[in-house]
Structure 1
């Protein structure tokens, strides 16, 4: 006699829900880890990229730098400007070109003197050469400590900044890309020699030497700005914080 057929066992309706919940949990854990790793990697990337950029910017091919320094020295000699324009090298390897304020600017102002035009023209033509396009030019204006007070220049800060800007504008007008240039007014904060003796008496020849414009030429970056991804993260975090308040 045959046994009556057993009814099929009813599947556990809860089993698939447990499996589904486990899968969702694993996926959530995966995405959380992925997000956190991505965030760390992004920050590391920013840091590494910034370091690489600085290192690459500071690594100059000595042959090009020395050649440029040599060319600038020859320009000064050819123009007969050895007494008022001096080429040298800074501690960080930058080429320096010091222009005497008394010879390159009209007294008490920021207008270029007539004798300055030929020298500056030869300088910008050399710096505009294709082989020197990777070199940036920082232009510093310096004064003595004798206060100036005029409608155009209330203090030596304005005068020094205006003189640096005049040189920068001259170069831009004649074809140097503006992203290679920076103008800085230093006033009397960095004298080469003391402006006065111990009794406070002005030393005329020293004051003349301190009135100058200094060009620093190197591959060092001109501007230091936060990277765009980092800036966007900051703005996004600020927006989220404000929305939660």
Structure 2
């Protein structure tokens, strides 16, 4: 009986220590898990690039399962098109790709042509301004929306008026000659400072004055110079779009202006 009692006691001790084995297995599994996770996160960029390109070529190929070709697995697939051999379908796909490439190339060429026209226009106007010492009256800037030609109100109009001064007609005539070869929309925009009209004027406020001034420039181009009216638009913004600080006399003078913007756009 004593011998049986001693064996039973040792077995109980063994049961108490078995949790260490389970714990060790758990730690080992966790270590393996984190090693695998780390290895997965470290992707070979070169191999990944090769794999990506290979998949793209496979799925973009005209010789695919949907076209009745061999597909990814190399086995024949069912043709879902209305008949035609593999060579005919491949030829049609190639022609479609060439057609899309031609369209893209034509649009790119049109865009480059227009950009060159705008660059030439800006260069000619800058030379004209420098030659005629008009730096304080006329400025030209390349903006995201197009080539902006800004003319001072003092150069174009008398105070509070919208009738063009005789001295400005030569410059407007030069611009008109340049606009004849430009195949895009030209926007004429009138601007004023924020001071109310208090002097003798037939215009009620700055809205009317700015619109009338823009319209006078437009009329010169389409009535006097006979430019195509379909290529023009005009607007009066009053004092809502200042280019300088209206709290100073110099700033208000800059704000009283007419902007002629040769828009950067492609015509259909």
For the criterion TM > 0.5, the same-fold answer is yes
Q: Does 1:146 align with 2:199?
A: no
More helix, by proportion: 2
Name 2:251's counterpart in structure 1.
206
Provide the C-alpha distance between the structure 1 equivalents of 2:134 and 2:171, rounded to a whole number of angstroms.
Answer: 8
> SS at the partner of 2:166?
coil
1:71 to 112, 124, 133: 124
Deviation at 1:77, TM superposition (A): 2.3
Name 1:187's counterpart in structure 2.
238
Deviation at 1:148, TM superposition (A): 1.4
Per-residue deviation, residues 129-170 of structure 1 (Å, max 9, x unmatched)? 3xx2x1221000000001115562101000000000000000
Provide the C-alpha distance between the structure 1 equivalents of 2:164 and 2:241, rounded to a whole number of angstroms.
Answer: 22
Aligned length: 158
Residue pair 1:75, 1:123 contacting (<8 A) in 2 also: no
Q: CA, structure 1 residues 67+125, in 2 after alignment: closer, same or farther (shift >3 Å)?
A: same
Deviation at 1:80, TM superposition (A): 2.3
> SS at the partner of 1:115?
helix
Residue pair 1:85, 1:99 contacting (<8 A) in 2 also: yes
Deviation at 1:74, TM superposition (A): 1.8
> SS at the partner of 1:59?
helix
Residue pair 2:188, 2:234 contacting (<8 A) in 1 also: yes
Provide the C-alpha distance between the structure 1 equivalents of 2:212 and 2:184, rounded to a whole number of angstroms.
Answer: 23
Provide the C-alpha distance between the structure 1 equivalents of 2:266 and 2:205, rounded to a whole number of angstroms.
Answer: 29
Per-residue deviation, residues 190-236 of structure 1 (Å, max 9, x unmatched)? 1111201xxxxxx11111111000011024379xxxxxxxxxxxxxx
TM superposition score normalised by structure 1? 0.60
Q: Structure 1: where are the runs of 5+ without partners?
A: 1-51, 197-202, 223-245
Q: Structure 2: where are the runs of 5+ without partners?
A: 1-103
